Amino acid sequence: MIQSCSDCALRAVRLFCDLPPQALEDLDRIKYSSLYSKGSVLFVEGQMPSGVFILCTGRAKLTTRLADGRSRILRVAEPGELLGLSATISGKPYEATAEILDLCQVNFINGEGFLSFLLDHGQACLNVARHLSFDLRAVYHRARALMAPLTASEKLSRLLLDWAEERGESTDRGIKLKAALTQEEIAQFIGTSRETVTRLLGELKRKEVIDKKGSNMVIRNRTALEERAGCDAYHRDR
């Protein structure tokens, strides 16, 4: 457990957590830290907000329910992100369901305490505005992807390139990363079947575009992956 935000070695590289010392002390006083196991649900779409959740370690997926009853993954949240932020600020219901993907430490701050904290600390308020702007940009990016007449191959290639940008590590073999989702979840995310995802990943491996063992992946030929994604359109959407 990370007991104190002031002592967290990663706070300087996280959008919300890089705050002045006094703000971090006040944040420590109003937060409640807990560990959540895989599959735990932080909040449910349509539920009135109780507060915000700061993802300290691990990942969470945000999903929405479609009209036909199926779930669709909106995005995967990474450490340092605030979940339930816009709902807490607006007082409107949570827009999505947040489910833990692996063992996580989460700091919870109730809505009243969080809004008072923002009033007292201008830097925190600015960081929240930045956080919301990044969320909005991600929504625009996702909307463009949904409106574009993309094939399943193009959607999958763009998803892998996004992961490479967000969490990839350059190595002698290529860009090393850990897949954020299972094949079933990838299928939900890009709107296709699991069988199609399995086939496309197998094709990428045979053509030596990627190397994959379990959730570990290496993008060996980024240029080829960009060509499959529609390189010019992909960079324009970014």
Same fold, 5-146 and 150-237: no
State residue 148's pLDDT score: 66
- Predicted pLDDT of residue 145: 65
Judge whether residue 147 has pLDDT over 70.
Answer: no
Domain 5-146 in this protein, CATH class: mainly beta
Distance CA 143, CA 121 (A): 33
SS (H, E, C) the chain: CCCCHHHCCCHHHCCCCCCCHHHHHHHHHHCEEEEECCCCEEECCCCCCCEEEEECCCCEEEEEECCCCCEEEEEEECCCCEECHHHHHHCCCCCCEEEECCCEEEEEEEHHHHHHHHHHCHHHHHHHHHHHHHHHHHHHHHHHHHHCCCCHHHHHHHHHHHHHHHHCEECCCCEEEECCCCHHHHHHHHCCCHHHHHHHHHHHHHCCCEEEECCEEEECCHHHHHHHHCHHHHHHHC
Any idea where the domains of the chain sit in the sequence?
Answer: 5-146, 150-237
What mean pLDDT do residues 176-182 have? 86
Q: For residue 78, which of 29, 152, 134 has the smallest C-alpha distance? A: 134
What is the per-residue pLDDT for 238? 52
- Which is more confidently placed, 235 or 220? 220
Give the CA count within 13 Å in the CB-facing half-sphere of 99: 16
Report pTM. 0.78
Average pLDDT value for residue range 186-196: 90
Ranking 10-14, 59-63, 130-134, 186-190 by mean pLDDT, the lowest is 10-14
Can you give the pLDDT at residue 104? 93
Burial class (CB in 10 A: 0-12, 13-18, 19+), 92: exposed
Which of 30-34, 126-130, 137-141 has the weakest average pLDDT? 137-141
Task: Please give the CATH architecture assigned to the domain spanning 150-237.
Answer: Orthogonal Bundle (1.10)
- Output the average pLDDT for the chain: 88
For residue 90, give the nearest of 114, 106, 55, 72 by alpha carbon: 114
Q: Is 117 a residue whose pLDDT tops 80? A: yes
CA angle 61, 166, 139 (to 5 degrees): 55
| Per-residue pLDDT tens digits for 51-84 | 999 999 899 999 998 887 788 888 889 888 999 9
- Which carries the bigger pLDDT value, residue 123 or residue 11? 123
Token pair of 184, please? 């079933």
